[in-house]
Amino acid sequence: MRHQLLLLFILSVSFSFAQREQEKIAEDFEPSSVNQFGKEFPKVNSEGRVRVQIEAPEANRVQLDIGGVKYDLEKNKEGVWIGESAPQDEGFHYYQLNIDGASVPDPGSKYYYGAGRWGSGIEIPAGDKEFYALKDVPHGNVSENLYFSEITQQWRRNFIYTPPGYFENLEKRYPVLYLQHGSYEDETGWSSQGHANLILDNLIASGDAEPMIIVMDNGYAYKPEDLEKVEGNRPRSSFEEVLIKEVIPKIDNKFRTIPNRENRAIAGLSMGASQTMSIIMNNLDHFSYYGGFSGTANFPGDKELDADTFLNGAFSNAEEVEQKLNVLFLGLGTKEAEVFFNTVKAFRDMLEKQDIDYTYYSSPETAHEWLTWRRSLYQYAQLLFNQNQ
């Protein structure tokens, strides 16, 4: 019996030691690249773990909430809570701190609009981060453009990327990409979280993309009468009408665009992919390039499609689509949720049944997140406007 107890004790000690070894964390944490100036935390290590710290001496429980998973922090004798997450995928992630049930931004990080709120963001360094890095190349400008919408009876804004040389060569005109954000994000996303301007700066500098203007507008647009009819849930967006009747004419009037369909592209991520698919199918006379990143549901136009219609061929104008679209691009991360795989696969099946050419890009080891969409834009931008030369 004594031998058995001794054996159990040895096994227990060995298991505990092995467990501690397995949970051993690489202590090579560095401040995040998106911290507020002078802030040491949050930090990221070589494993992709996120370590946070916050002073809250009166709190009873503090957690780090990232990727929908909550991690308990521990309080030291000074009342400072500290702890870290499990390894995260490469790329950008929204996160928040939970203090006694109240979710708050981390005071050490920069703030981004995502998940329907302004909150914290973290960058897990990606192996291919060079394509969206800030480099010593000519840079374009991102400007805020305000306009009054008669359709929504509101002041709205979009952000405009003008490429390097736009303000030097005043005779040159440019093609335009209309680029949309995802659900519960806004017009700040593509130039902030997405680094669209840096991606284009680097591509233009290397000669891999044509200089272009990018318009990043807010996909949430509602008529006053529609807002009055709906309680609780958001009404149907009138963004298509705003874009076609107001935004495009205003952009063509204010900026040196080439105002025709051959020099106009549209793309979006997730909700923005669905919106832009609907828009382009209803307006093939306005655009000749389409990009859908992580989503192509609810198309074309105003039709509600059941699964059979979706799979058997939704485009009644397939010949026109094939003729007028120079590029139809789809991008998806390999770790996306099943619903996105199923939707995009059904869409691809439909395209193939109708002999519509398309380009498909698979982002390795990324889910429904900004690194998928940065990579998709990088691939898509290289295909734009080459046919116009």
> Is residue 250 in a domain?
yes
Sequential DSSP letters for 180-223: E--TT--TTHHHHTS-HHHHHHHHHHHTSS---EEEEE-S----
Which is higher by pLDDT, 294 or 20?
Answer: 294
First to last CA, the chain: 87
The answer on pLDDT for 326 being more than 50 is: yes
DSSP 244: I
Neighbours of 278 (CB within 10 A): 20
Considering the domain architecture, whether residues 193 and 120 belong to the same structural domain is answered as no
Considering the domain architecture, whether residues 119 and 146 belong to the same structural domain is answered as no
> Is residue 294 in a domain?
yes
- 12-49 in b/e form (b: 16+ CB < 10 A) is eeeeeeeeeeeeeeeeebeebebbeeebebbbbbeebb
For 101-123, the pLDDT digits (tens) are: 999 999 999 999 998 999 999 99
Count structural domains, the chain.
2
Considering the domain architecture, whether residues 109 and 134 belong to the same structural domain is answered as no
> Is residue 17 in a domain?
no
Residue 299's pLDDT band (boundaries 50, 70, 90)? Answer: very low
Considering the domain architecture, whether residues 235 and 87 belong to the same structural domain is answered as no
Considering the domain architecture, whether residues 371 and 274 belong to the same structural domain is answered as yes
CATH of the domain at 214: 3.40.50.1820
Considering the domain architecture, whether residues 95 and 232 belong to the same structural domain is answered as no
Residue 318's pLDDT band (boundaries 50, 70, 90)? Answer: confident
Which is higher by pLDDT, 388 or 215?
Answer: 215
> Is residue 223 in a domain?
yes
Considering the domain architecture, whether residues 83 and 113 belong to the same structural domain is answered as yes
CATH of the domain at 89: 2.60.40.10
Question: What pLDDT score does 23 carry?
Answer: 64
Residue 316's pLDDT band (boundaries 50, 70, 90)? Answer: confident
Question: What pLDDT score does 228 carry?
Answer: 77
Considering the domain architecture, whether residues 327 and 187 belong to the same structural domain is answered as yes
Neighbours of 80 (CB within 10 A): 16
Which is higher by pLDDT, 229 or 222?
Answer: 222
- Cα–Cα distance for residue pair 113/180, rounded to 1 Å: 14
The answer on pLDDT for 305 being more than 90 is: no
Please state the pTM of the whole predicted model.
0.89
Which residue, 125, 145, 165, sits at the end of a domain?
Answer: 125
Question: What pLDDT score does 262 carry?
Answer: 97
The DSSP bridge partners found for residue 275 are none
For 49-69, the pLDDT digits (tens) are: 999 999 999 999 999 999 889
Find the range with the poorest average confidence among 42-46, 174-178, 254-258, 304-308: 304-308
Which residue, 59, 90, 125, sits at the end of a domain?
Answer: 125
The answer on pLDDT for 187 being more than 60 is: yes
Question: What pLDDT score does 312 carry?
Answer: 53
Which residue, 109, 125, 141, sits at the end of a domain?
Answer: 125
Considering the domain architecture, whether residues 112 and 181 belong to the same structural domain is answered as no
- Cα–Cα distance for residue pair 257/176, rounded to 1 Å: 7
Average pLDDT for residues 373-385, to the nearest whole number?
A: 98
Considering the domain architecture, whether residues 270 and 198 belong to the same structural domain is answered as yes
As given in the structure block, the two tokens for residue 192 are: 């902030």
Neighbours of 213 (CB within 10 A): 23
Considering the domain architecture, whether residues 146 and 258 belong to the same structural domain is answered as yes
As given in the structure block, the two tokens for residue 157 are: 């804004």
The answer on pLDDT for 22 being more than 70 is: no
Average pLDDT for residues 143-159, to the nearest whole number?
A: 98
> What is the percent of the chain with per-residue pLDDT over 70, rounded to a whole number?
88
Q: Give the domain extent around 199.
A: 130-388
